[in-house]
Amino acid sequence: RRPAPISIDPMGELSQAASLRGHRGGVNCLAGEGDTLVSGGEDGTVRLWDLGAQRTARAMVAPGAQAVNALAVGRGGCEHFVFGAAGRDVFAYDLRAPGVLMREPAVPSLGGSSDEVGALAIDAAGEHVAIGDDSGEVRVVNLDGDSQPPELDAAHGSICACLAFRPAGGGGGGLELLSGGTDAFAVRWDCLTGATLCSWCLAAAAPPAQSDGAAPRVINPRHVHSLAFEPGGTAFAAALGDGSIELRDANHGALLAAAPSAHGAAASQVVFAPQLGGAGWGTAVPLLSAGDDSRLRLWACEPPPAEGASEGASLRAVGSASLAQKPNWVLPHPSGVVCVAGTSDAVGVWRVSGGIRIRT
């Protein structure tokens, strides 16, 4: 099945709508769930934002005022909690506690890691937090505290850069986690048994099978900087150190589609954004990527038509924007905007300033 042609409205570009200011230094990470939006910075604070008023609603101080490198917002029974990583520890604040400035986390530590923590993820039920550190260690914490999952049976050979829980119903069953590292591996885990289900080395570059409208490919190590499952859980996207974006089968790791020259420097972020789509997108799902080339790009991702299918998937560029600084984190918001954190002290708020139609 050939990709459907694309028609882009003349104003169908990403444009900056606002800046959220409050941090005193670079903004390292973002997280959200529903209307909740939080950011973590070099200044050792986590900020809860009122996006409509474009101001800080509450601020939380990390233990020791250390830089906050990763965040996750709770779900289910933990929906009132914000989890943050600072140094080797993961802490949690309860948003039901009073005060605009919060200095004492409800949970000071979820247990120390072997090295600095740079990756967090929470499962859809809000029962487990996954933690990845710079030694390559990955561990999973059961938030009910009654029993803990077994230790995962291996680790990355270097920094664990990203984590993503597989959506329920994605074909794997149980509780699955995907991790990526600067060893160029993506690893699929069974969190309930601790077993490694699959381990894929992504060090070999994909052939330039399509034109993606970007600069020539960057010759950098293919570190796995970011991973994201498409909403159905049958495939995942990867942002790689050579500037490429790839779509791969979630069960076997087979390459389904690639944009080999997506970015003119390392691709640092990839995230699916179904809230940016609409009837005009057909079966395609909006996908955002960002890179060290200070570019934010919007893609139409056509997932495989059926689980295990090796044909019919595609990645097609539909929008882009230049950023004022190197991005650290990209987060789509349910309101239809895109939040971007970077090396400046502000969180940029971006929107698609027109329509995009996917012709079938």
Closest CA to 124 of 245, 256, 231: 231
Cβ proximity of 212 and 220 under 8 Å: no
What tokens were used for 124? Answer: 């859809």
User: Over 90: is that where the pLDDT of 10 sits?
Assistant: no
- Among 22-31, 153-162, 285-294, the minimum mean pLDDT is found in 153-162
pLDDT given for residue 1 in this prediction: 42
pLDDT band at 171 (very low <50, low <70, confident <90, very high): low
pLDDT-wise least confident of 150-164, 178-192, 231-245, 252-266: 150-164
Tell me: the pLDDT tens digits for 268-315?
A: 999 999 998 877 788 899 999 999 999 999 999 998 877 666 678 899
Which one has a higher pLDDT value, 258 or 279? Answer: 258
Cα three-residue angle 121-122-124, rounded to 5 degrees: 135
With a CB cutoff of 8 Å and minimum separation 6, the contacts of 36 are 48, 73, 82
What's the mean per-residue pLDDT of the chain? 89
| Out of 217-221, 259-263, 320-324, least confident range | 217-221
What is the Cα–Cα distance from 319 to 297, expressed in whole angstroms? 6
Please check the confidence at residue 354 and state whether its pLDDT lies above 60: no
> What per-residue string of b and e applies to 215-243 under the rule 16 or more CB within 10 Å gives b?
eebbeeebbbbbbbbbeebbbbbbbbbbb
Give the pLDDT of residue 170.
62
Amino acid letter, residue 294: S
First-last CA distance in the chain: 11
Residue 276 near residue 338 (C-beta atoms within 8 A): yes
Q: Which of 30-44, 55-69, 135-149, 290-304 has the lowest mean pLDDT?
A: 135-149
What pLDDT score was predicted for residue 5?
42
Edge-to-edge strand order for the sheet containing 245-249? 224-229, 235-240, 245-249, 255-259
pLDDT(123) > 50:
yes
The single-letter DSSP state of residue 107 is: B
- C-alpha pair distances (Å), 64 with each of 13, 99, 108, 135, 161: 42, 19, 11, 22, 23
Indicate whether 211 pLDDT > 70.
no
Tokens standing for 305? 């038509």
